[in-house]
Amino acid sequence: MIEVGIVQMVFCSRVADPRDTSSLNENIKAIVRYSQIRNAKLGITGALLTDKTSFAQVAEGSAASIGNMYSSIVNDERHYDVELLQYVVTHVRLLPLQTLAFVEVDRLPGIDGINRHSTPLDRRKACLSVLAALRPLLLG
């Protein structure tokens, strides 16, 4: 489906405290539940990927909706080192049917984690490569 002025944003962030695994799993579940409801209301589609230490996300929607979502993530205490990797205006959504697909990266064979890389550039490359590798799975 062709839409006018769809913003597609890719970003990554680190989990605020990955050592607290008991609350980490609950926090991730809460983020996914809340985001799926919010995204459906705002016309946002996309995917959230995690290796339990970092997040990688692709989000698509109107400029206003995507801007508000990104601002709320930057100010969310469950994330830090939020980094915008890509921001483009397009006419075709990559994930038109997903309000927020959710994938735990470490459960997939052959996919390296996001945060196992020491430099910011390597982390960015890992984040984008994970998204690219998972795109066929997310599209179904």
Please answer whether residues 40 and 32 qualify as being in contact, where contact means their C-beta atoms are separated by less than 8 angstroms.
Answer: no
Sheet-wide strand order for 45-50: 79-90, 6-15, 54-61, 45-50, 101-104
Dist. CA 107–CA 65, nearest whole Å: 31
Tens of pLDDT, residue by residue over 33-76, are 999 999 999 999 998 888 777 888 889 999 999 999 999 989 98
Which numeric CATH code is attached to 6-139?
Answer: 3.30.70.100
Dist. CA 63–CA 120, nearest whole Å: 26
In this prediction the pTM is: 0.76
Q: Where are the domains of the chain?
A: 6-139
Tens of pLDDT, residue by residue over 69-128, are 999 989 988 788 888 888 989 888 888 888 998 877 765 555 555 545 555 556 666 666
